Structure 1
């Protein structure tokens, strides 16, 4: 009988994390690492080119053509239905595991836990089971599953979600346009469309929505100097980072 081999693709935009995970998985005889990506663009290219059973992906990976977080995982589920997903995350907002579980992702590993938790997570994802690392389990146990938040990230397009998350992290419309290589007019339009879909009128409510739905954490907020109060241009009073 042939031995079990799980083909894995890894995606993370932190080189140190990629190296650590590669090292951890390299000694596991049942896991074959097929490739590494540092953006959603590279990950989708790998999925198109290489056989894969399980994708291990960072939750927050903003640079790339296919977004990150729920938008990216939803795309993978639709385009590559047999592929299972293991999510790596530093976010400690309960909205993140809530959104992932609702999306059908049931193997989640916190980056604050030992990287060795990825091994059972990959095996469990491959077999269709559920695995939470200790920190994720602690967060999941604290969730009120009967509580329903306002709106849903599902109503937003991938690009709208990407703009909302970057805006909530503290970037202005100009900075988002530069990062995503889009025009300022396009970014402003996508932000406005997202707010319209969510029934949100004020930038502060958009920030609150992003926080409550796990699109950004307080540690991801950009630090800066004096607040830019020109909110029509996407400015947001910077908040000091915890990291």
Structure 2
């Protein structure tokens, strides 16, 4: 059973999401929030597996709420799937930098919504990797280079193999595909990934993609 917290300031959108999720097998909606402050409190109280997070809300927005929830969360931390109107959106990029696991367009259909919840809940692959990569490429070299350099994790702490796994994650490969590419087992891929996430203090696979681009490990336009 995957537990989900739904966060959106618009009642009709929130109610629609809740209705779709409650009708789906294997999903339990454990709470609803209309702003970031409520989301932080409910996330701590209900400890959901997945949080559907609106970005633009009065008071605390989705980016700050995502950062606050993940900083407070005990293991395993919830996976945050942000809801947006536009895919190439600097707010979405900010949410991925804060640790969100992926994003979903608000006009997506029910099947897309359920697939996204399943993908981020599983955590072994990026949801819509080509779109995620396009978003990160669009914003990874924008403003505040000095501030970002100070905040950027040190990928020099990674081993050669961990660096290679990070590069392939940024290319959108699944754990199975990485294992095939490097001739190692999926369990070994997960070990390298877990060590990488710990060393770089990362919360999600999508955040790892951001770090790979911002550090220069992967350049815009590079493939897998």
Report the TM range for the smaller structure's normalisation: 0.5 to 0.7
Distance 1:142 1:112 in 2: 18
Contact 2:40 2:68 in 1 (8 A): no
Task: Decide whether the 8 Å contact of 1:87 with 1:108 is kept in 2.
Answer: yes
Bigger Rg, which one: 1
Q: Give unpaired runs (5+ residues) of structure 1.
A: 156-243
Match of 1:167 in 2: none
Q: Which of 53, 66, 79 is matched with 1:84 structurally?
A: 79
Give the Cα–Cα distance (whole angstroms) in 2 for the partners of residues 143 and 51 of structure 1: 29
Whether 2:42 is the aligned partner of 1:28: answer no
Alpha-carbon distance, 1:147 to partner: 5.0
Residue 47 in 1 paired to residue 43 in 2? yes
CA pair 142-53 structure 1, distance change in 2 beyond 3 A? closer
Counterpart position of 2:63: 70
Structure 2: distance between partners of 1:146 and 1:38: 28
Q: TM-score, normalised by structure 1?
A: 0.52
TM-score w.r.t. length of structure 2: 0.56
Q: CA RMSD in A?
A: 2.7
Correspondences of 1:42-191 after superposition (within 5 Å): 42-63=38-59, 67-81=60-74, 82-128=77-123, 129-132=125-128, 138=131, 140-141=133-134, 144=137, 147-151=140-144
Kindly provide the CA deviation profile for residues 80-134 of structure 1, in whole angstroms up to 9, marking residues without a partner as x.
15111111112454423433333332321011322432211111111113213xx
Count of aligned pairs between the two proteins? 144
Q: In structure 1, what is the equivalent of residue 220 of structure 2?
A: none
- CA drift of 1:71 comes to 1.6
Contact 2:70/2:99 (<8 A) preserved: no
